[in-house]
Structure 1
């Protein structure tokens, strides 16, 4: 599982005491990477500039280290006492969580990127040149492989035996997780900036500063995707054809605007169509943007809302059903990394090195803490403690 979070949603159910914003300890780990820490049985597992380490969560002392791996920018995954490590040297490693002994390795044709995910005995991991590998988690034997033909967003999302895969050039695939059979495919028309995130029955993608919502259970007829592409091209040539249909499962899209997100059902002039991309969606939620405003983080998601940072220094809470703003919170500077939801709290970092805690129900600030350096990865939560990895090479424990 990807840090205990197959869906990529950043949501952790919690009913206990919440951290009060007190830094109890900091460990220097050397040059930082985008590998967020994962915590299991009192041990922190993470990748760094040239090694993979298991660290005692209480003392910060190393338990084992594997060196000469090269930079590890993907967050590790742990399942059944095995740690899965994506490497830039084109290898995916399975390592014993207790001993650090390599159990198997799988070699691909390009570097592994992002976070692997493990579910039902299968590990899923994507590569820089557009392949997703589904491997037997016990042996590393291939089960299925998908070639997207282009770079893939750094991680996949899994829910209810389905896998959501974002293609960087502007696409979303939803497949059967066990067989790799295609359920639906959507062409977005803009760069996909972050991995897909699933909350409830919706999958969210951030593309060109917008967040888009799709029904993860949607299916398309075998001929519908190529038909929609041809139809859209004819429409762009201004031939006498109706407006192209919406992509399979499309629900709404939103972008930050002056005074918050103001929904409109008029798709008319709010964006510019591009060749072969069905961007004019009838009855969709299109938002009139404030000039230059854009979402800049992946969303955290629950079944009823998403939480996402923008470059106009806000965190937005957006209804999962309608795409309307529930609240927005003014931040000290631009949010960085996907927020983390713990019970009724929302935790996120900003570019000036501040960690914020906000009540996710009403959008009221709880506390803020100066870390001295921005986050390089989302906050990790375990046993009432927040773990924050920052650009200065430190790992902070916050109680």
Structure 2
């Protein structure tokens, strides 16, 4: 017939394949499920244990899918190795972000900045009783952002100059962008997940948490007379500091990173959409409400009968505390996202262009300017301005003249507003917290797990620092005797 015939008996003598052919498409589904499980856990900010478990499940599912693709060779060739490599790469990225860097092997662990004579522990709560544990009392309180209504950045202290030791460390399960506060031995911290959490300062154990819903907390709370004031979404809340129960709630325009200030029974706050509020702290009723006409990312500072705030349009404005009338306005030339600092008859502000201005607090007349390069809120204590300086680190300037006294090089930009307590200045630069003497000489540094954008708390012999990954750490002097 002209058609070649297969030799008789050939099929009978062919050995069976050790790998049965799988149904087409069986591997791709497993790979997709594996990637979805791991990435989903990472995006919802689950606890580290859940993330690691999801990563393991995702990896197993991906391996099963790859194996099925191998058995169904036409499918494997059609899908291509690129899809498989992409799945493995995604899982690797997720796991690298969710695991503790200290657990990484060999060369990866070497990428973590070395700590010089610095003790660290894991993320579990590890109380270390000591004489330097934060104790309740007004002298140890940091009631609002930047330390006080004038935002000078001065904390009660004491801190310590010796090598730091980790007293405890907890995971708040949500990034922390704004500075926590400390009142009567309790730390109050807000997270990106929309929770305000009360934490015992001596042990790190949670006392209560308040759910603001789906809104990100980007501002610090203020705690006065047993009430915690916090803004999130389109509401301002007054909570009982002991229980977290709501005392009152009022609507406001979108709350942004502006932190409240409470002075003489009146709360001052700005909405991101451009309103400056004065609110009765006892009832939540409006005292006055003024529209600026620009977006507001700055927090108000209050001193000498005036309320100061910077605008995204580049102006620094001074309002009368009683009426809300604008007393003066100073154009800085570009957006102001940092907060004003009032000290010694001057108000200090940095703009997004990296210029630090010193103005007369009563009139708004410029006294001097200095191109520091950083846009973070400065600290001003005892005639010295401490400010972020471009890529070089932390700079100290004479508050009267603006002339530099010293610059401490951190190797990168300062990412938090400085805190001053006693003879030391504390500031975050990337994932590292630095303690620098008032003479510009470093005392110590402590590596955290992520960038520090929140100012540290320094009170009662402890230094408390939050990093953006949600880790809250309490440090004490390693040489201090234990009880």
TM-score (norm 2): 0.66
- Work out the CA distance in 1 between the residues paired with 2:157 and 2:257: 30
Query: For each residue in 1:299-344, what CA deviation from the matched residue of structure 2 results, as whole angstroms up to 9, or x when unmatched?
Result: 1112411111122222110111011001111113221110111122
**What does 1:263-302 align with in structure 2 at a 5 Å threshold?**
294-302=373-381
Equivalent pairs counted in the alignment come to: 330
- Work out the CA distance in 2 between the residues paired with 1:113 and 1:295: 18
Hey, what does 2:362 align to over in structure 1?
217
In structure 1, runs of 5+ residues without a counterpart are 219-247, 257-293
Q: Following TM superposition, by how much is the alpha carbon of 1:382 offset from its aligned partner in structure 2, in angstroms?
A: 2.0
Hey, what does 2:36 align to over in structure 1?
none
1:92 to 236, 240, 251: 236
Instruction: Determine if the alignment matches structure 1 residue 159 to structure 2 residue 303.
Output: yes
Hey, what does 1:52 align to over in structure 2?
196
Q: Following TM superposition, by how much is the alpha carbon of 1:21 offset from its aligned partner in structure 2, in angstroms?
A: 2.1
Q: Following TM superposition, by how much is the alpha carbon of 1:18 offset from its aligned partner in structure 2, in angstroms?
A: 5.2
1:383 to 440, 460, 463: 460
Asked whether the equivalents of residues 212 and 252 of structure 1 are also in contact (C-alpha less than 8 Å), the reply is: yes
What SS is found at the alignment partner of 2:208?
strand
Q: Following TM superposition, by how much is the alpha carbon of 1:160 offset from its aligned partner in structure 2, in angstroms?
A: 2.1
1:2 to 140, 144, 152: 144
Query: For each residue in 1:94-132, what CA deviation from the matched residue of structure 2 results, as whole angstroms up to 9, or x when unmatched?
Result: 001011111111101323432100000000111011101
- Structure 1 residues 17 and 392 mapped into 2: Cα distance closer, same or farther (>3 Å)? closer
Instruction: Determine if the alignment matches structure 1 residue 103 to structure 2 residue 261.
Output: no
Hey, what does 1:273 align to over in structure 2?
none
- Structure 1 residues 200 and 387 mapped into 2: Cα distance closer, same or farther (>3 Å)? same
1:203 to 342, 347, 352: 347
Hey, what does 1:78 align to over in structure 2?
223
- Work out the CA distance in 2 between the residues paired with 1:354 and 1:188: 31
Query: For each residue in 1:201-247, what CA deviation from the matched residue of structure 2 results, as whole angstroms up to 9, or x when unmatched?
Result: 211111211101101122xxxxxxxxxxxxxxxxxxxxxxxxxxxxx
- Work out the CA distance in 1 between the residues paired with 2:343 and 2:266: 21
- Work out the CA distance in 2 between the residues paired with 1:58 and 1:315: 30
Hey, what does 2:404 align to over in structure 1?
325
Q: Larger Rg: 1 or 2?
A: 2
Question: Mean Cα displacement is larger for which, 170-179 or 341-350?
Answer: 170-179
**What does 1:171-320 align with in structure 2 at a 5 Å threshold?**
171-207=315-351, 208-218=353-363, 248-256=364-372, 294-320=373-399
Hey, what does 2:432 align to over in structure 1?
354
TM-score (norm 1): 0.79
Instruction: Determine if the alignment matches structure 1 residue 35 to structure 2 residue 182.
Output: no
Instruction: Determine if the alignment matches structure 1 residue 371 to structure 2 residue 448.
Output: yes
- Work out the CA distance in 2 between the residues paired with 1:356 and 1:298: 17
- Structure 1 residues 212 and 26 mapped into 2: Cα distance closer, same or farther (>3 Å)? same
Q: Following TM superposition, by how much is the alpha carbon of 1:149 offset from its aligned partner in structure 2, in angstroms?
A: 0.3
Hey, what does 2:280 align to over in structure 1?
136
- Structure 1 residues 92 and 340 mapped into 2: Cα distance closer, same or farther (>3 Å)? same
Asked whether the equivalents of residues 34 and 376 of structure 1 are also in contact (C-alpha less than 8 Å), the reply is: yes
In structure 2, runs of 5+ residues without a counterpart are 1-142, 477-483
- Work out the CA distance in 2 between the residues paired with 1:50 and 1:24: 26
- Work out the CA distance in 2 between the residues paired with 1:191 and 1:43: 35
Q: Following TM superposition, by how much is the alpha carbon of 1:17 offset from its aligned partner in structure 2, in angstroms?
A: 5.4
- Structure 1 residues 313 and 383 mapped into 2: Cα distance closer, same or farther (>3 Å)? same
Instruction: Determine if the alignment matches structure 1 residue 341 to structure 2 residue 423.
Output: no
Which one has a larger percent strand, Structure 1 or Structure 2? 1
- Structure 1 residues 385 and 359 mapped into 2: Cα distance closer, same or farther (>3 Å)? same
- Structure 1 residues 153 and 202 mapped into 2: Cα distance closer, same or farther (>3 Å)? farther
